């Protein structure tokens, strides 16, 4: 069974440019989450989708970040325009919906974003 | 305020048991203890969780003290591939994803 996959694994962009990160959750997982670790900091929650709906986006840092999950399958996280402080690793995770949120998440390998 | 306290780093000899402690003295009755780990350059990996009773799975054992104020993750026969940062997380049953806070964790280094 395929795990959570993320693309690209590494992206290097100039300040002010746009980057779109993609996450494909495990098949059948209705819950999809985005987390990130910016340099030297801890892993922080960004947002949570249940199917195509945003359940919680309280962790999104500002309106330069836009997450979508059209059709309830894969998700994209767009950063526009990117700033230097956005550099870090963006993790996607998924879990099944049944039984509600249990804290047992399956994470992808992460997408490393470097803003120059 | 941090809900958990873990040592910054630990070493363990390959083949020996690795015992990773975690203090969570303010844990409430319906909060679970979760353990994740992050091997370098990979995403976090769920290991185990528990509420009151000790738990064991194919990866590890979780020992929770009777007062629930601390716990220990045990990797019974550590291998070099177990070198990682281990996170102890206190999480409210039925809570939300934003409550899964990873903290600084313990860097476990398994030595050959």
pLDDT tens for each residue of B5-28: 999 999 999 999 999 999 999 998
Are B43 and A104 an interchain contact pair (Cβ–Cβ within 8 Å)?
A: no
pLDDT band at B1 (very low <50, low <70, confident <90, very high): low
Residues in B touching A43 (Cβ below 8 Å): 38, 44, 102
Mean confidence (pLDDT) of chain A? 92
CA separation for the pair A101, A61 (Å, rounded): 23
pLDDT for position B78: 96
Of B42, B60, B41, nearest in space to B50 by CA:
B60
In this complex, how many residue pairs, one in chain A and one in chain B, have their CB atoms less than 8 Å apart? Answer: 59
The answer for A 27-66 residues in CB contact with B (under 8 A) is 31, 33, 42-45, 48, 55-56, 58-59
Q: Strand B55-56 and strand B61-64: pairing?
A: antiparallel
Q: Strand A19-24 and strand B84-92: pairing?
A: unpaired
Q: What is the DSSP letter of B31?
A: E
Strand partners, B73: B20, B62
CA separation for the pair A58, B34 (Å, rounded): 22
pLDDT tens-digit readout, B55-96 = 999 999 999 999 999 999 999 999 999 999 999 999 887 777
pLDDT band at A67 (very low <50, low <70, confident <90, very high): very high
Residue B106 Cα, gap to closest chain A Cα (Å): 13
pLDDT tens-digit readout, A21-65 = 999 999 989 999 999 999 878 999 999 999 999 999 999 999 999
Contact B110, B83 (CB under 8 A): yes
For chain B, which residues lie within 8 Å of any Cβ of chain A, measuring from their own Cβ? 32, 34, 38, 41-46, 49, 89, 91, 94-98, 100-104
Q: Is the peptide bond before A81 cis (omega within 30 degrees of 0)?
A: yes
Give Cα B40 to chain centroid, integer Å. Answer: 16
């Amino acid at each position: 069974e395929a795990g959570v996959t993320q693309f690209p694994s590494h992206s290097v962009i100039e300040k002010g440019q746009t980057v779109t990160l993609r996450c494909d959750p495990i098949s059948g997982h209705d819950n999809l989450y985005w987390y990130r670790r910016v340099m030297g900091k801890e892993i922080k929650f960004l947002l949570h989708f249940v199917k195509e709906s945003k359940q919680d986006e309280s962790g999104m840092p500002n309106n330069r970040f836009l997450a979508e999950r059209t059709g309830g399958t894969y998700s994209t996280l767009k950063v526009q325009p990117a700033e230097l402080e956005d550099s870090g690793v963006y993790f996607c995770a998924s879990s099944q919906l049944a039984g509600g949120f249990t804290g047992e998440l399956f994470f992808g390998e992460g997408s490393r974003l470097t803003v120059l | 305020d941090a809900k958990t306290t873990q040592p910054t780093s630990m070493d363990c000899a390959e083949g020996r048991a690795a015992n990773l402690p975690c203090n969570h003295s303010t844990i409430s009755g319906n909060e679970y203890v979760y353990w994740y780990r992050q091997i370098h350059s990979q995403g976090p990996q769920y290991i185990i969780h528990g509420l009151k009773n000790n738990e064991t799975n194919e990866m590890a054992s979780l020992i929770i003290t009777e007062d629930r104020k601390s716990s220990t993750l045990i990797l019974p026969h550590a291998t070099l591939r177990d070198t990682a940062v281990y996170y102890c997380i206190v999480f409210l049953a039925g809570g939300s994803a934003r409550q899964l806070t990873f903290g600084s964790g313990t860097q476990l280094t398994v030595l050959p």
